[in-house]
Amino acid sequence: MQLPAKFINRYQKFIPDFDRFLKTLDTPLRSVIRINTLKGEKEEILRLLSDFKLEPIPWYDLAYRVKNNIQIGNRLEYFLGLIYVQEAASMIPPLVLDPQPGEKVLDLTAAPGSKTTQIASMMKNTGLIVANDVNRKRIRALLTNIERYGALNVVVTNKRGERIGEFLPGYFDRVLLDAPCSLEGMLRKNDHALTRWSESNILRSSMIQKSLLASAFKALKPEGILVYSTCTFAPEENEAVVSFLLEQNPNASIEPFTLPGLITHPALTLWQRTRFHPDVLKTSRIYPHDNNTEGFFVAKIKKAVK
Amino acid sequence: MEQFLKHLADNFAINPELLKDFKILKFGDELFIMSKEAAIFKELKPMQRGIRMAKVFKHSSKLSTSSIQLFGKFAKKNIIQLDYDEALRFAQGFELVLRSQPSEIVEGLVIVKYCEFALGIGNYKEGKLKSRVPRSQVLRT
């Protein structure tokens, strides 16, 4: 993969074991499936997958890497909505969010719905998930997935995410903001992101992410949990965004998290002469070469009672 | 709504009590099934709540594949069980000539299953089973 020199210059400064990181980017990712428990019991579904060579994903007992070549989209199990093809790292934000049955959850940028349907499954189809997306075209994919995977607790809305906090302040028990980003972490799956890669794009994304995160935090109940995630390495879109929220809201704090078998790295405290809020250190960076996944950034944010 | 639930009970022996944890609401000519909390959420002008259950006509209704895949497992009559290859062809939208005549089946709409999983609705007549999986949902070959 031909990476821009600027990309390499930026990231060799802080991504550990950088040569192995670069090598991993050139290794294609195998498909990972998530068992959809809204449609059946795990064991029943696994029985149907006897010709799949499956390797368990350590941090989620419903996720498996498919080690043999199978056209999953042509399979009956896919038609039945029993399995969802979803990258293993993309399952992490809902796991950190840890939604409980009966709660009110907001998925602020929900399309195409992999995390929404995962959350629905974790909530056992109870309570409420507001799955919002600003892009009508992408909402079509979201609706298809909600139907296919049988998510009955989802309400789909089409609003600008930046306004939702204003419309529904303090409404949700949990909020997921898997923010639109520069997609650097997805290069193993699709190197399209490189064609649009530039530092100015990163800064533009960062501005949008800050206003989305402010809205997400406003929509959260006191004592509620907000998970902010991106699939990019850019500190401007990760630490800087979370630091901005912490500086603006003294009632926001970061909660560290761990998941079984998942290797994470603490976030940066300093980037290009900008020092971040010290709490940012408790957020997590997930690198492709540590877990054989895409790259992710995840922050678990708690809102205190004022 | 009661008429629709009666249709499920009469045709497939699906006990309406099994759906009591959910709410069925009508929007236009379609019925949607959703969690009770989703049913009362009115803010932000929702585009859709829950999943499509059926399209309602004046004297009949057409169940959606998505809802049958969720609730078809509760059916007790008018069920046709397929093997893997037949199920695959049904999911691909084909008409099947069944190798054996199913017993205790009333000709007309049936719930089609593979193992314990409901695939969708089919139309059964004289040994032939026509898939009613909509073109937008059929499994690509």
ipTM: 0.95
* Beta carbons of B33 and A151 less than 8 Å apart: no
Check if CATH label 3.10.450.720 holds for domain B78-137. Answer: yes
pLDDT at B93: 96
In chain A, how many domains are there?
Answer: 1
pLDDT at B26: 94
pLDDT at B141: 76
Interface test with A, best of B69, B84, B112, B140 (most A CBs within 10 A): B69
Output the pTM of the full model.
0.96
* Beta carbons of B66 and A151 less than 8 Å apart: no
Judge whether A279 lies within some domain.
yes
pLDDT at B24: 96
And the tokens for B109?
A: 């709409």
pLDDT at B103: 76
Integer Cα distance of A239 and A267 in angstroms: 7
pLDDT at B1: 73
**Measured in Å, how far apart are chain A's first and last C-alpha atoms?**
49
Judge whether A127 lies within some domain.
yes
Judge whether A73 lies within some domain.
no
Mean pLDDT of chain A: 96
3-state class of B4 per DSSP?
helix
And the tokens for A97?
A: 């969010």
Is the pLDDT at A243 greater than 90, yes or no?
A: yes
Q: In this structure, are residues A37 and A62 in contact, taking their beta carbons and an 8 Å threshold?
A: yes
Check which CATH number belongs to the domain holding A274 and give it. Answer: 3.40.50.150
All residues of chain A having their beta carbon less than 8 Å from the beta carbon of residue B51 are: 146-147, 150-152
pLDDT at B2: 76
Is the pLDDT at A267 greater than 90, yes or no?
A: yes
Judge whether A68 lies within some domain.
no
All residues of chain B having their beta carbon less than 8 Å from the beta carbon of residue A127 are: 35, 37
> B2-72, what's its fold?
Nuclear Transport Factor 2; Chain: A, (3.10.450)
pLDDT at B100: 78
User: Of the listed A32, A220, A231, A298, which one is catalytic?
Assistant: A231
pLDDT at B7: 86
Give the mean model confidence (pLDDT) for residues A152-168: 98
Query: pLDDT tier at B101 (50, 70, 90 boundaries)?
Result: confident
Start and end residues for every CATH 3.10.450.720 domain found in chain B: 2-72, 78-137
Judge whether A9 lies within some domain.
no
pLDDT at B58: 85
β pairing state of A63-66 and A104-107? unpaired
pLDDT at A1: 81
- The alpha carbon of B135 is separated from its chain's Cα centroid by a whole number of angstroms, namely 15
Question: Chain A residues within 8 A (CB-CB) of chain B?
Answer: 38-40, 44, 47-48, 73-74, 76, 78-82, 102, 104, 125-130, 132, 139, 143, 146-148, 150-159, 164, 167-168
Rounded to the nearest angstrom, the minimum Cα separation between A50 and chain B is 13
Closest CA to A40 of B135, B78, B73, B31: B73
Domain containing A158 equals: 16-22+89-303
Query: pLDDT tier at B33 (50, 70, 90 boundaries)?
Result: very high
Integer Cα distance of A78 and A72 in angstroms: 7
3-state class of A137 per DSSP?
helix
pLDDT at B99: 82
Q: DSSP letters along A148-211, please?
A: HHT-TTEEEE---HHHHHHHSTT-EEEEEEE-----GGGTTT-GGGGGG--HHHHHHHHHHHHH
Judge whether A243 lies within some domain.
yes
CB atoms within 10 A of CB A161: 24
Give the mean model confidence (pLDDT) for residues A266-292: 97
Is the pLDDT at A306 greater than 80, yes or no?
A: no
Closest CA to B41 of A48, A294, A251, A171: A171
Judge whether A38 lies within some domain.
no
> pLDDT tens-digit profile of A218-242?
999 999 999 999 999 999 999 999 9
Integer Cα distance of A136 and A44 in angstroms: 36
Q: In this structure, are residues A298 and A227 in contact, taking their beta carbons and an 8 Å threshold?
A: yes
Give the mean model confidence (pLDDT) for residues A277-294: 97
pLDDT at A253: 98
pLDDT at A284: 98
pLDDT at B140: 86
Give the mean model confidence (pLDDT) for residues A11-33: 96
Query: pLDDT tier at B122 (50, 70, 90 boundaries)?
Result: very high
- What are the C-alpha distances in Å from A276 to residues A86, A225, A240, A281, B106? 32, 21, 7, 9, 70
pLDDT at A249: 98
Give the mean model confidence (pLDDT) for residues A169-178: 98
Q: In this structure, are residues A259 and A52 in contact, taking their beta carbons and an 8 Å threshold?
A: no
Q: In this structure, are residues B61 and B7 in contact, taking their beta carbons and an 8 Å threshold?
A: yes
Give the mean model confidence (pLDDT) for residues A177-204: 91
Work out the angle between the directed axes of helices A136-149 and A114-122 (0-180°, nearest 10). Answer: 40
Give the mean model confidence (pLDDT) for residues A277-297: 97
Specify whether A231 is catalytic: yes
> pLDDT tens-digit profile of A23-71?
999 999 999 999 999 999 999 999 999 999 999 999 999 999 999 999 9
3-state class of A227 per DSSP?
strand
* Beta carbons of A146 and B48 less than 8 Å apart: yes
Interface test with B, best of A35, A51, A78, A80 (most B CBs within 10 A): A80
Q: DSSP letters along A47-66, please?
A: HHTTTS-EEE-TT-TTEEEE
> pLDDT tens-digit profile of A109-148?
999 999 999 999 999 999 999 999 999 999 999 999 999 9
Q: Residue holding tokens 């045709």? A: B11
Query: pLDDT tier at B61 (50, 70, 90 boundaries)?
Result: confident
pLDDT at A194: 87
CB atoms within 10 A of CB A198: 12
